[in-house]
Amino acid sequence: MAERPNIPRRPRRKRRTYNVRLVRRDLSYEIREIAELFSLHPQAVRRWQQRGLTPIDERRPLLFHGSEIIRFLSETQQGRKKSVPPGQIYCCACRAPRRPVNGVVEVHRRGRTKLILIGVCPECGTRLNRFGSIAKLPEYGNHFAVREAAPERLPARCDAVDKCHLAKETEHA
């Protein structure tokens, strides 16, 4: 293809997040098929290849294993996400880490080892959720005013927590 140096570059758009769940782990894909899956130009997929997406072998058309596409997208999208500073929890509504109101988090135990820290966003009032482990309770005490929730007050629905968790970085608090 001929170069067209006089055409001004389009301004960089905000990077998209690709839903890896569209990819089937047990299938192999051609570049064209990957492009269709994510509504991309095949050239965009070739750029993924330059950035580390590895074909099964050199035979044409190039084939990419579903598990490799998932690995590539997960890793590149992971690296982009910002980490949450200690003493803060990611707010799904603000899309930013926030210090819970008064630094207070309620601890809801889930089973023997896990827990959820729940606070309130000072900016928007949304519930802040963060997964953690019971072993790290002393550490949370250094950053938050930790309140133990009574067992019967365990949140009945945790899907909001889970969705938020997927949206934010996979941080093991």
Residues that bind Zn ion (CB under 5 A): 91, 93-94, 121, 123-124, 126
From start to end of the chain, where are the E strands? 28-30, 63-65, 89-91, 96-98, 104-110, 114-120, 127-133, 145-148
- In whole angstroms, the minimum distance from the beta carbon of 158 to Zn ion comes to 19
Q: Which is nearer to Zn ion, 54 or 126 (CB)?
A: 126
Return all residues near 152 (Cβ < 8 A) that are at least 6 apart: none
Q: Which is nearer to Zn ion, 88 or 140 (CB)?
A: 88
Q: Which is nearer to Zn ion, 62 or 164 (CB)?
A: 164
Q: Which is nearer to Zn ion, 55 or 100 (CB)?
A: 100
Instruction: Quote the Cα angle for 24-30-33, to 5°.
Output: 65
- In whole angstroms, the minimum distance from the beta carbon of 81 to Zn ion comes to 17
Distance CA(142)–CA(125), nearest Å, equals 23
Beta-sheet pairing, 104-110 with 145-148: parallel
Q: Which is nearer to Zn ion, 43 or 102 (CB)?
A: 102
- In whole angstroms, the minimum distance from the beta carbon of 97 to Zn ion comes to 10
Distance CA(31)–CA(9), nearest Å, equals 25
- In whole angstroms, the minimum distance from the beta carbon of 131 to Zn ion comes to 18
- In whole angstroms, the minimum distance from the beta carbon of 25 to Zn ion comes to 35
Q: Supply the DSSP symbol for 123.
A: T
Strand partners, 30: 63
Distance CA(166)–CA(168), nearest Å, equals 6
